[in-house]
């Protein structure tokens, strides 16, 4: 099986195409980097991976190894085939965007996952009509007993990875989250690069 490694640069995005049966390994190289992840069907970008539908179909807050990720038409698109991390990922939070950083006090433009998705898709000649809610790999958002949410630090470790296998032809888009105000990317609040390996 051939493997091709690529970098998701810190605070930037990366888009790839997967054929049915191909897989991508997403590696948390330094252990504390959140990687926002989207998937779009080749034939129709309006048909995409959906966290709200995936939660319903799996009856779980976050997918576990071996479970399927579903589209907004409740069709399989990816399978979370392997997960060497503690299995804590987020399916609740919208991708960070320029308005999120404005609310956090930024007066100048701040890089963000929503724009990273748009830019990464543009690099391979695509334009999505909107930014769906991503699967936030390695993001830790504890749900507290009073139903409040905490912006937690990742519990993943350097080199932890997940393996996503395509059940259909799709584009998969990643963003090495630029968040440096909350501890989403660790106590040091310093975004880093992550890596992917294309398998197939």
pLDDT at 55 over 70: yes
Domain boundaries, the chain: 3-199
The tokens for 82 are: 């392997």
Which pTM was predicted? 0.96
Q: What is the pLDDT of residue 2?
A: 56
Query: Which tens digit of pLDDT belongs to each residue from 175-184?
Result: 999 999 999 9
CA distance 76 to 8: 25
Report the pLDDT value the prediction gives residue 1, as an integer from 0 to 100. Answer: 44
Query: What does pLDDT average to over the chain?
Result: 96
Mean pLDDT of 157-184: 98
């Amino acid at each position: 099986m051939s493997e091709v490694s690529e970098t998701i640069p810190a605070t930037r995005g990366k888009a790839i195409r997967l054929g049915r049966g191909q897989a991508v390994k997403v590696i948390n190289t330094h252990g504390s980097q959140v990687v926002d992840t989207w998937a779009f069907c080749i034939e129709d970008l309006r048909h995409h991976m959906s966290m709200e539908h995936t939660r319903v179909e799996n009856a779980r807050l976050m997918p576990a190894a071996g479970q399927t990720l579903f589209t907004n038409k409740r069709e399989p698109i990816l399978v979370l085939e392997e997960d060497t991390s503690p299995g804590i990922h987020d399916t609740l939070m919208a991708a960070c965007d320029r308005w999120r950083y404005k609310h956090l006090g930024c007066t100048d433009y701040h890089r963000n996952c929503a724009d990273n998705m748009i830019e990464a898709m543009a690099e391979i000649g695509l334009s999505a009509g909107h930014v769906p809610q991503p699967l936030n790999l390695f993001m830790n958002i504890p749900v507290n007993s009073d139903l409040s949410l905490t912006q937690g630090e990742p519990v993943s470790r350097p080199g932890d990875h997940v393996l996503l296998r395509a059940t259909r032809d799709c584009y998969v888009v990643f963003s090495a989250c630029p968040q440096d105000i909350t501890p989403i990317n660790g106590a040091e609040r310093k975004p880093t690069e992550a890596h992917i390996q294309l398998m197939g």
